[in-house]
Amino acid sequence: MPNLLWLQSGGCGGCTMSLLNAESPDLMTLLEAAGIDLLWHPSLSEQTGREVAQLLEAIVSGEQPLDLLCIEGSMMMGPQGTGRFHMLGGTGKPMIEWVRELSAKAKYTLAVGSCAAYGGITAAGNNHTEATGLQFDGELPGGLLGDDYLSDSGFRVVNIAGCPTHPDWVTETLISIALGEHSEENLDTLGRPRMYADQLVHHGCNRNEYYEYKASATAPGERGCMMENMGCLGTQAHADCNIRDWNGHGSCTSGGYACINCTAPEFEEPGHSFGKTPKIAGIPVGLPTDMPKAWFVALASLSKAATPDRLKENATSEQLIYPPTIHKRKG
Amino acid sequence: MSRILVGPFNRVEGDLEVSLDIDGNQVRSARVNSPLYRGFEQIMLGHDPMDALVYTPRICGICSVSQSVACAQALANLMQLEMPANGQHCTNLVLANENMTDLLTHFYLFFMPDFARPVYAGEDWFEKVEQRFKATKGDASRVMLPARAEFLHLMGLLAGKWPHTLSLQPGGTTKPVEPQERIRLLTITAAFRRFLETELFGDDLNVIASLKSVAELEQWRQQKPWYSSDFRTFLHLNESLELHNLGRATDQFLSYGTYPQGEQRVFKSGIYVGGEHLPLNSADISEDVSHTWMENGDQPRHPSQGKTIPSLENEEGYSWCKSPRLNHQVVEVGALARQLINGHPLAQDLVTQQGGNVHSRIVARLLELAIIIPQMQEWVKAIDPKAPFCNHTELPNSGSSFGMIEAARGSLGHWLEVKKGKIHNYQIIAPTTWNFSPRDQQAVPGALEQALEGTPVREGESEPVAVQHVVRSFDPCMACTVH
């Protein structure tokens, strides 16, 4: 029965809150069914204070084996590499020291969320806290543990990136490991589980018809495609958000706002305002993934010329103005 | 006298460390350390002010929407932009969805599991409480987690996802509600109401919301066996362990008020000082950094003039948390403050009789669930799918502004200054910043530090269980506290 230790550092705790949204079954039933024994989780476990410090010491000394180490939140290297921006409560020791020592013992080390994976939001701005990820510093290999880190059973860090992560991304990854099915081939080049990262947010987006005809929204809340004006990166973002619903019904794009590519390293500093698409000579910068530029421009201008009135009108409206026409077989 | 250090203090949101000076069998004084610094106030400098809608929710994964609403309100004030009625209803619904979820999560997952600790194994109620509330194993989590997740389907419909939505805008919400979605919202709120009425209260929400005094609450409690609902179980534990004698702080309270409805707000703003209800003057708020690992410890500053420059060189510093004060006074924020200031008779009677304590804080939280869920049902009904949801205008190039709302844990304020179209200053005071502040220039301890003084310590305890009840009675969110 694999055990699991979860620690939080320079993040918001949102990946844990999202994990509690797991459904069919709920999180506790799911862990039990998967045979995962929760050694300690900061939001859920009974043990507090000294009991926890003793558990961590026992893992570091090798007395207590550790299978799954889940880290949520950025690694806080600052100030000046001391790690003092986060000293784990009650232990007088920087969290980065704990993570270095524990990850040397863990059979599998998992970064839960984009902060732990790449630095994430905490590394935005001038990154004065020297926040970084476990095995990546933004797009570059490295981070706290370094590019050559391998867990006790010989694996690189699994980056369940997202801000926050979808509960299923976490639970399915954990179960796959618990089943003994993990391999490096299961991860993409940024360390993300391919189970969700081989999809684009664009796949299954309910605005696809607007995208096809380049019928674009111009303000928040309008029904059209958000790629041209509203900063949407769904055609480039690796995640299955529009195939697998969030909170039963949702996704960012169905909620009426742009995908900001939160599963990617450095999403936190896009170099422009999140809600506005950067353009050169009126053409959006950033093409849909794998699309040759000349063809995209040609197809976009062609489809724009062919946009049906229904989509043109509906695209800039909050409410549906024109429903699709009903075809009659006779008359 | 001896000193003990409790940490990592868990089942709070984020990391926490509490240092206790113990004299005999009680806490003589306490120091509260928020041990993580991320620096959102520095991160956002120089960004497009609208980008604050991306950054601020990520201050906190449990108060994410609250941060969004405070930020959107600050931007709306700067733009002088009002919301259409639908935008207001949907913003209220999303905020209430998070706040009510947080109150529920706190009760079931963070607070109650302490009564299932082995230290209570000799109590006659222990077996049932352990079965129901044992951390990670109790029966309650198996019914509460699905109910919580289904209640948050409201977020899926109105906000795309939770946490970290961008649907909450200065001029309203980005998700126009379709007629069938409005019906779904009605069923989601009704189902959650049913969960509360069967599992948590064992009674109609209106009955709970109408309790007017401590005597009426006691009468209600005795109508059925203590184990017939989770609220009655808590009230039974209170009787057994005298939780009303634990964790009294200053008995001074603050609420910014929240949930606007036309010109009014469902919960009023105000302060309660020296046993008197008074209006809030936001100019009376200041932040002191004398005991914080920050530079510029000279004078307390109003948050509109606030600065955040971390420095470990402040020798008096023992936390990353600043010390907000109201007219130089320590005040407590949260559901109890909110209900007291809004004039709920039960909250008033609880405070008049016994002040703010472990018992009154928990009762006020559950009372708020009983008040707000029916209100949410009314907001859903008021949505008109044919009417607009969001107004738009340009952001001015410069100016200063603020957003002040109530999150689950209490008063949350954002103060924003824009120059040349960029964020020039952004200061945030979160609820737990108020409650878990370190000492100020006058060496006056913060609300939790005061609440811990006199807390009993049992023989040989390294993490005194009563201390844990007191700390968790505030439902601290450490992620927000320092941000």
Average pLDDT over residues A67-78: 98
- Give CA–CA dist B385/B149, Å, rounded: 25
Q: Is residue B43 within 8 Å of B35, Cβ to Cβ?
A: no
Find chain A residues with C-beta within 8 A of B462's C-beta.
49-50
- Give CA–CA dist A324/A326, Å, rounded: 6
Name the token pair of B261: 């409805």
Q: Do B152 and A87 touch (CB under 8 A)?
A: no
Find chain B residues with C-beta within 8 A of A13's C-beta.
13-14, 60-62, 479
Q: What is the dihedral of CA B456, B459, B465, B469, to 10 degrees?
A: 0
Q: Is residue B280 within 8 Å of B307, Cβ to Cβ?
A: no
HSE on the CB side for A101, CA within 13 Å? 13
Tell me the nearest-neighbour CA distance from A34 into chain B, angstroms: 15
Q: Which of A13, A20, A318 sits opposite B176 (nearest CB)?
A: A318
Angle between the B358-382 and B465-473 helix axes, to the nearest 10 degrees? 30
- Give CA–CA dist A45/A30, Å, rounded: 16
The per-residue pLDDT for A331 is 63
Tell me the nearest-neighbour CA distance from A94 into chain B, angstroms: 10
B-chain residue closest to A251, CA distance: B160
Task: Indicate whether A282 pLDDT > 90.
Answer: no
Find chain A residues with C-beta within 8 A of B170's C-beta.
none
- Give CA–CA dist B358/B375, Å, rounded: 26
Three-state DSSP at B157 gives: helix
ipTM: 0.98
Q: Do A49 and B9 touch (CB under 8 A)?
A: yes
Find chain A residues with C-beta within 8 A of B169's C-beta.
220-221
Q: Is residue B306 within 8 Å of B332, Cβ to Cβ?
A: no
| Residue ranges for chain B with pLDDT beneath 50 | none
Q: What is the dihedral of CA B244, B248, B253, B255, to 10 degrees?
A: -60
B-chain residue closest to A250, CA distance: B156
Convert the pLDDT of each residue in B401-458 to its tens digit: 999 999 999 999 999 999 999 999 999 999 999 999 999 999 999 999 999 999 999 9
Query: What's the distance, CA B63 to chain centroid?
Result: 8
Q: Which of B42, B157, B389 sits opposite A249 (nearest CB)?
A: B157
Label each residue of B331-386 as H, E or C.
CECCHHHHHHHCCCHHHHHHHHHHCCCHHHHHHHHHHHHHHHHHHHHHHHHHCCCC
Q: What is the dihedral of CA A185, A187, A190, A195, to 10 degrees?
A: 140
Higher confidence at residue A287 or residue B135? B135
Mean pLDDT (chain A, rounded): 96
Largest Cα–Cα distance of chain A, in whole Å?
Answer: 83
- Give CA–CA dist A273/A250, Å, rounded: 24
In a mutational test of the A interface, the residue from B161, B188, B480 whose CB has the highest number of chain A CBs within 10 Å is B161
Q: Which of residues 167-226 of A touch B (CB under 8 A)?
A: 219-221, 223
Tell me the nearest-neighbour CA distance from B263 into chain A, angstroms: 24
Three-state DSSP at B230 gives: helix
Tell me the nearest-neighbour CA distance from A166 into chain B, angstroms: 9
Single-letter residue type at A274: F
The per-residue pLDDT for A287 is 85
In a mutational test of the A interface, the residue from B58, B65, B108, B295 whose CB has the highest number of chain A CBs within 10 Å is B58
Q: Do B160 and A220 touch (CB under 8 A)?
A: no
C-alpha distance from residue B55 to each of A221, B111, B441 (Å):
20, 29, 31
- Give CA–CA dist A314/B77, Å, rounded: 30
Chain A and chain B share a number of CB contacts under 8 A equal to 270
A15 in B contact zone (CB under 8 Å): yes
Closest-CA residue to B16 (of B444, B361, B359, B472):
B472
C-alpha distance from residue B252 to each of A165, A208, B125, B248, B435 (Å):
39, 55, 34, 11, 11
Neighbours of B1 (CB within 10 A): 8
> Which residues touch B107 (CB under 8 Å, ≥6 apart)?
B200, B230, B234, B362, B365, B366
Q: Which of A29, A48, A253 sits opposite B9 (nearest CB)?
A: A48
Find chain B residues with C-beta within 8 A of A249's C-beta.
153, 156-157, 184
- Give CA–CA dist A111/A289, Å, rounded: 25
Q: Which of A16, A124, A250 sits opposite B156 (nearest CB)?
A: A250
Label each residue of chain A as H, E or C.
CCEEEEEECECCCHHHHHHCCCCCCCHHHHHHHCCCEEEECCCCCCCCCHHHHHHHHHHHCCCCCCCEEEEECEEECCCCCCCCCEEECCCCEEHHHHHHHHHHHCCEEEEECHHHHHCHHHHCCCCCCCEECCCEECCEECCCCCCCCCCCCCCCCEEECCCCCCHHHHHHHHHHHHCCCCCHHHECCCCCEHHHHCCECCCCCCCHHHHHCCCECCCCCCCCECCCCCCCCCCCCECCCCCCCECCCECCCCCCCCCCCCCCCCCCCCCCCCCCCCEECCEECCCCCCCCHHHHHHHHHHHHHCCCHHHHHHHCCCCCCCCCCCCCCCC
- Kindly tell me the sign of the dihedral angle through the C-alpha atoms of B108, B112, B117, B122: negative
> Which residues touch A92 (CB under 8 Å, ≥6 apart)?
none
Please give the DSSP secondary-structure letter assigned to residue B87: H
C-alpha distance from residue A82 to each of A87, A119, A135, B33 (Å):
10, 17, 18, 18
- Give CA–CA dist B437/B453, Å, rounded: 15
Q: Do A49 and B462 touch (CB under 8 A)?
A: yes
Name the token pair of A202: 């664009």
Q: What are phi and psi of A164, to 5 degrees?
A: -85, 180
**Ranges of H-type helices in B19-84:** 40-43, 52-55, 64-79
A283 pLDDT band (50/70/90 cuts)? confident
- Give CA–CA dist B64/B48, Å, rounded: 20
Q: Do A90 and B17 touch (CB under 8 A)?
A: yes
Convert the pLDDT of each residue in A145-203 to its tens digit: 999 999 999 999 999 999 999 999 999 999 999 999 999 999 999 999 999 999 999 99
β-strand partners of B323: B288
Q: Which of B58, B134, B157 sits opposite A163 (nearest CB)?
A: B58
- Give CA–CA dist B468/B454, Å, rounded: 14
Average pLDDT over residues A263-271: 97
Q: Which of B5, B36, B173 sits opposite A85 (nearest CB)?
A: B36
Q: What is the dihedral of CA A114, A118, A120, A122, to 10 degrees?
A: 130
Average pLDDT over residues A275-295: 90
**What percent of chain B has a predicted confidence (pLDDT) above 70?**
100
Q: Which of A48, A124, A221 sits opposite B10 (nearest CB)?
A: A48
Q: What is the dihedral of CA B147, B149, B151, B157, to 10 degrees?
A: -160
Q: Do A274 and B54 touch (CB under 8 A)?
A: yes
β-strand partners of B414: B403, B428
Three-state DSSP at B274 gives: coil
Task: Indicate whether A75 pLDDT > 90.
Answer: yes
Query: What's the distance, CA A147 to chain centroid?
Result: 20
Q: Going by DSSP bridges, is the β-strand pair A283-284/A279-280 parallel, antiparallel, or unpaired?
A: antiparallel
Long-range contacts of A122-126 (CB under 8 A, 24+ apart): A122/A10, A122/A11, A122/A73, A122/A74, A122/A76, A122/B38, A122/B43, A123/A74, A123/A268, A124/A268, A124/A269, A124/B43, A124/B55, A125/A269, A125/B42, A125/B43, A125/B44, A125/B45, A125/B46, A125/B47, A126/B42
Single-letter residue type at B53: L
Q: Do A219 and B392 touch (CB under 8 A)?
A: yes
Name the token pair of B482: 């320092």
Cα angle for residues A227, A230, A231 (degrees, 5° grid): 70
Name the token pair of B473: 């009675």
Q: Which of A51, A86, A121 sits opposite B58 (nearest CB)?
A: A121
A82-103 exposure pattern, b = at least 16 Cβ within 10 A, e = fewer: ebbbbbbbbbeebbbebbbebb
